[in-house]
Structure 1
Amino acid sequence: MRGTVNGIEITSRVIFLPGNSNGDGYWTNIDLTIQLKDVIPLFNELHPDCIGIFAFDQSSNHKDMADDALVASRMSSGVTEYKDTNKYRFRDTTFTDKEGRVKAQPMYRTETVNMEGVKKIVATRRAKQQPVSFEDLMNQYRLPRAREVFRGTLILLRERGLLDKNASLRKVCPSGTVHDPAVRPGCCAEYLLSQQPDFLAQKNILETVTFEAGHLFTLYPKYHCETNWIERQWGAAKRYSRMMCDYSFYTLTSRIHEFLDNDEVVHGPKINRRYYNLAYRYIDAYRKGKDVMEADEIIRKFSREYRSHRRAV
């Protein structure tokens, strides 16, 4: 994004050289989030009192969730110890029970005794009708130091009344399984928990940053780059760079801003609006139920008939 604020031209642009050896690594969601936080204030300066729609393509990088987000696929079904090296630490949440009461649900608990070990010994001895001394077991499985553990998806489901006390449920279904939300208790713990309102309400990082700034977030449809106007701007920049570059890395890096801005230099700043209008016509055609071939014909017909905003040709 580029614009003039108080007579000063300001550009929000990051030049990134991918690669692990001599480059900047890989472009991650963290890098994109930093740039988004740089773009939003510039948008607010250029368009005060306006709400922007920030659109991204369907890259998995753009849909990355925060490390504390409630994502069932990241959770273990059983109790596991939380360590400082763990990538994720899930936020506590709330749920509404069958009586309509809102209840808090912590994700972690502190243990001084290895309760999972105690439960296994108790279950084994009871099955063999052997005596059980809870005091001895508590002393035997007492931990040298207190530890924090993730409580596991099965416990979370039982607390919500979605799984019987002694029932078990596999963590995840085999690949390709078609899930049926009408089936209870569900085919697997991961899917059942992922369909709960608080899990469904989770937003990705970019969406969260955008909404917190008072703007809107959306994703372009998959496999339809024609709906994203920025692809045309990139295409123009790459076409010009092929014409002017001597295919040396030095020339490319030293003139990259010239390559990126050439389209506006030659055709004026309104060229990007033309790219946007063309993308919008595809979006409008798809909204009306047209397929790819029909949409393409509509755009071609429009381009032949309306070569100027003042007259039809």
Structure 2
Amino acid sequence: MVKKAYPQDCIVGGPGQRPIILVTHDESTFSSNDGRRQAWIGPARHFLRPKGRGQGIMVSDFLLPWSRLSTESLSEEERTNSDTQLPLYATKYLEYGKTEGYWDGKDLVAHVLEVALPMLRKIYPGYQFLFLFDNSSNHGTYADNALRVQSMSLKSGGLSQKLLRRGYMNGDPAQVQEMTYQAIDSHTGTETTLAKGMKVVLQERGLWKDGLSMHCPKNLCCCAAEILSREEDFLAQKGMLQEEIERSGHLILFLPKFHCELNWIEYYWGEGKRYTRDNCRYTIDDLRSAIPQALATVKNSTIHGHYHRCMRRIQAYRAGLGYGSPEFGKWTENYKSHRRIYFKTGDM
């Protein structure tokens, strides 16, 4: 039984299918010196602002179409009666720089698997979740054993090469090819696992040609790396984030590049940053307390409204309308309710 109320028009799924809930994600940075650009000052007075952006905090968060991802609808017992205690919000904070380092793809995967998914499963049991991510390079991070030529050398062996997972030959998953081999360490006399190089892998596939170099200058199909990268098993290699979400039984989509207007979480960040700028005192301590307060001020009705605005933009793109055109503006902005467009399609 779902304990949290939600708008039914935000749930996808046909008869006999598990209903699907959209879950969007994004990261944003808040800087301690990111304050207002204008101020009222007296005559012959100067408004001095700190130079530079100052220290900052990276925030990673998840939104549903109607609210933040939160366990506030659960009782304290339900929140703690599990293997790990569920947080109130899925929000993750990181003070980037020398102290805590920087957020990377593995951090995001851990955020999804260890925080977001346990919360979603607890609040909405029996549902399937469709995660939306932008096309950040962090979101395309690969597992250490992924089938990627970037992790290989031309020759076999060597401790610097990563041990890759099994591949397959001739486009047939049944023809398994091992990417490692066993060898005896000359120093210790023990058996160790080493990585096959591109040359051996291509020889086993019948694709090696004498004189092939590891790389060619113009991405032509005349080097070992380019030939191997075009093999079906290498082309089918997915990023770590996509692999882990699909392995857990859920869905994932990546938003088009340079189309932040399709993600309603961007407006959520805008609301939060407006609050922090209004309450900015140019110190990292104030920023630490201001960010949670800022995000808490964003109303669920505001999030829900931005979600529907993004859905109307997607519909406008599907109708072939160009962004910025008068027709696009009418489609996406002029409406009487979240479910009804202001005009008919034939009026355009």
Q: Do the two structures share a fold, i.e. TM-score over 0.5? A: yes
Structure 2 counterparts to residues 47-58 of structure 1, below 5 A? 47-58=124-135
Which of the numbers 65, 86, 93 marks the counterpart of 2:167? 93
CA distance in 2, matches of 1:231, 1:87: 40
Structure 2 counterparts to residues 1-313 of structure 1, below 5 A? 1-8=69-76, 10-20=88-98, 23-37=99-113, 38-81=115-158, 83=159, 86=160, 88-96=162-170, 102-112=174-184, 143-145=186-188, 148-164=193-209, 167-175=210-218, 177=219, 179=220, 186-264=221-299, 269-294=300-325, 297-306=327-336
CA distance in 2, matches of 1:249, 1:281: 38
CA distance in 2, matches of 1:48, 1:101: 34
CA distance in 2, matches of 1:50, 1:15: 27
Unaligned runs of at least 5 residues, structure 2: 1-68, 80-87, 344-348
Contact residue 96 and residue 102 of structure 1 kept, 8 A? no
Contact residue 5 and residue 45 of structure 1 kept, 8 A? no
1:44 shift after superposition: 1.7
SS class of match (1:210): helix
Contact residue 3 and residue 11 of structure 1 kept, 8 A? yes
- Alpha-carbon spacing, 1:4–1:101, altered in 2? closer, same or farther (3 Å): closer
Higher helix share: 1
The structure whose Rg is larger is 1
1:255 shift after superposition: 2.5
Q: More displaced, 218-227 or 46-55? A: 46-55
- Alpha-carbon spacing, 1:46–1:243, altered in 2? closer, same or farther (3 Å): same
- Ranges of 4+ aligned residues in structure 1 off by more than 6 Å: none
1:5 shift after superposition: 4.4
* Corresponding residue for residue 132 of structure 1: none
Q: CA RMSD in A?
A: 2.7
Q: TM-score, normalised on structure 1?
A: 0.74
SS class of match (1:284): helix
- Alpha-carbon spacing, 1:189–1:290, altered in 2? closer, same or farther (3 Å): farther
- Alpha-carbon spacing, 1:112–1:252, altered in 2? closer, same or farther (3 Å): closer
- Alpha-carbon spacing, 1:312–1:285, altered in 2? closer, same or farther (3 Å): closer
Q: Percent identity?
A: 30
